[in-house]
Structure 1
Amino acid sequence: MVMQSSNPVLTRPIEAPVVLDQRRGLTLDGVCGRTLVLIAVTVACAAAAWNLLQAPAWTGIAVIGSTLATLVLALVITFKQITNPLVISGYAVLQGIFLGVVSRELEQQFPGIVVQAVIGTFGVFFAMAALYRARILRASKRFTQVITGALLGILLLSLVDLALRLFGRALPIYQAGTLGVIFAVICIIVGALTFVIDFDQVERAVAAGLPPRYGWYLAFGMLVGLIFLYWQILRLLSYLRR
């Protein structure tokens, strides 16, 4: 069975055997449960990093190390189509460390910004779920191609910006200002629309009766989407506060 999976890192086809006995296959509740587990792991690690990694030296190491590690691990999970919960949970741990440190720094500068970003993230997520359930938004082939292309473009720009920051520079679209605000809004819109593709993939996977272990791969995609959206909203709010 071949399916297309989408998340803000890359898009890869899922190749999985079909389970003829639907009662033993993947379920929507199974995907939701796995997604909640990954969110819980991310939040727990973010809280730990927030409270424990407060020394400037540790902060820098945590941000750079977790950024590079999560990028590599996300690519490995995507290309290898890994369904091992320990590996995918490792991604959640690393993302939690990054988000905890960065969120703390921004919260110290702009009190209340983290709560606003969390509310905004889940507000957008549930709004997109409602639009998908009402069949207002559908993941057509053209829609998927456009959103995937936009995500890859954002990823490329992020890598360029990361490289420039190593030399003390940065792209204007990743700095406070008109361009930064506009680009952040675009990223939020793209991030929100990725959920339409993810919902479609979950629906198709359940209908196809894929093995339950593929729920971890789909949950990984959901987690990546939520983290991507949270970071973009947090970035936009920080620009507006300045």
Structure 2
Amino acid sequence: MRTKLLNPYFKKISDEHNISGKPASYGSIAIKVLFFLLLTGAGVCAYVFNVVPEEYINYALIGAGVITMITSLINFFNPKGTPIFGSLFCIAEGFLVGWLCQVYSVFYYGVVPIAIGVTFVVILVMLFLYATRIIKVGQRFRAVVSTLFLTSFILYGLVFVSSFFTNAITSLVWGNSGFGIAISAGALLLAALNLVVDYDNIAQCVKNKYSNRYEWSLAFGLVMTIILIFIRVLRLLSKIMSKGND
């Protein structure tokens, strides 16, 4: 019996039960993950090195945001288009990440390279914990992580809405207080646990010999989680640095 995959991009693969053609492999998925990461890096460089003229930068950021939303939806409903639309997503998302990195760098010197290093460590640690089965991914684990992950996004949305009426909640959540740091640490831990689920999703797809036509979707889903982890590491480090400067 096949394991259900709870990451939206991976769950669609499980539901379709397509095992025709050459089966997916770890090596091929890893190459595609690297490809998407390189495209994300290209997007970052496009912002950092001012590829877009300064007078058009705000329009470019808005456009990049729109592209990420549209392409992520297309990738979900049409996995066959992931090689193209996943690539567009990564470039646009990289552009946004480049802007975010520059903003944080202005206020917290050295935070970006530290965040990159921490993200790399998180990836390796969670891979080790999964490979050694210190963390075992079962249906209950998947359900809990999936529920908490969705709940966190809903809560972040509610906090954002509340910012239009009062700053009390946003200051508490986004600030550098002990509670704010704990919230960011919890969000990072949750993203890291989701990474373990992604590892297992890929392992299940390879084990069950799903078609290699889905390797792009597998790689794309994993890269999305890695980008999220980097952003949450960046936020956590900025709060810690800000707390140290008080």
With structure 1 as the length reference, what TM-score do the two structures score? 0.86
Which AA in structure 1 matches 2:227?
A: I
1:149 paired to 2:147: yes
Q: Match for residue 239 of structure 2?
A: 239
The equivalent of 2:11 in structure 1 is: 12
Select between 161-170 and 145-154 the one with higher mean Cα deviation: 161-170
Amino acid at match of 2:33: T
Give the alignment partner of residue 45 of structure 1, picking from 32, 43, 46: 43
Maintained 8 Å contact 1:83/1:217: no
Is the contact between residue 12 and residue 78 of structure 1 (CA under 8 Å) also seen in structure 2? no
User: AA paired with 2:64?
Assistant: S
2:26 — aligned with what? 28
Counting aligned pairs with the same residue, the percent is: 23
| Contact 2:10 2:218 (C-alpha < 8 Å) held by counterparts | no
Q: 1:80 deviation in Å?
A: 4.0
Shift in alpha-carbon separation, 1:65–1:4, aligned structure 2, 3 A: farther
Report the structure number with the largest CA radius of gyration. 2
Identify the structure with the greater helix proportion.
2
Query: Match of 1:207?
Result: 207
CA spacing shift, 1:164–1:98, aligned 2, 3 Å: farther
Is the Cα–Cα contact under 8 Å of residues 6 and 194 in structure 1 kept in the other structure?
Answer: no
Partner residue, 2:101? 103
Distance 1:61 1:161 in 2: 26
Structure 1: 5+ residue stretches without partners? none
CA deviation vs aligned residue, 1:62-109 (integer Å, no higher than 9, x gap) = 444434442343233224445530111111111101100110111122
- Kindly provide the CA deviation profile for residues 116-163 of structure 1, in whole angstroms up to 9, marking residues without a partner as x: 100000100101101111111121111101111111112223334455
Structure 1 or 2: more strand by fraction = 1
Gap change, CA 1:30 and 1:188, over 3 Å in 2: same
**Equivalent of residue 138 in structure 1, options 136, 145, 157:** 136
Q: Give the Cα separation in 1 of the matches to 2:166 and 2:55.
A: 18
* Cα displacement (A) at 1:180: 2.1
Which deviates more from structure 2 when the two are superposed, residues 161-170 or residues 68-77? 161-170
Q: Which residue number in structure 2 is paired with residue 114 of structure 1?
A: 112
Q: TM-score, normalised on structure 2? A: 0.85
Q: Is the 8 A contact 2:67 2:88 kept in 1?
A: no
- Following TM superposition, by how much is the alpha carbon of 1:48 offset from its aligned partner in structure 2, in angstroms? 1.2
SS at match of 1:84: helix
Q: Specify the alignment match of 2:86 in structure 1.
A: 88
Q: Deviations over 1:25-78 (max 9, x none)?
A: 1101011110000000001111111221584872x4444443444234323322
Find the counterpart in structure 1 of residue 181 from structure 2.
181
Aligned positions, number: 237
Aligned CA RMSD, in angstroms, stands at 2.7
Conserved? CA contact 1:110–1:238, under 8 Å: yes
User: Does the residue aligned with 2:11 lie in a helix, a strand or coil?
Assistant: strand
Per-residue deviation, 1:2: 7.0
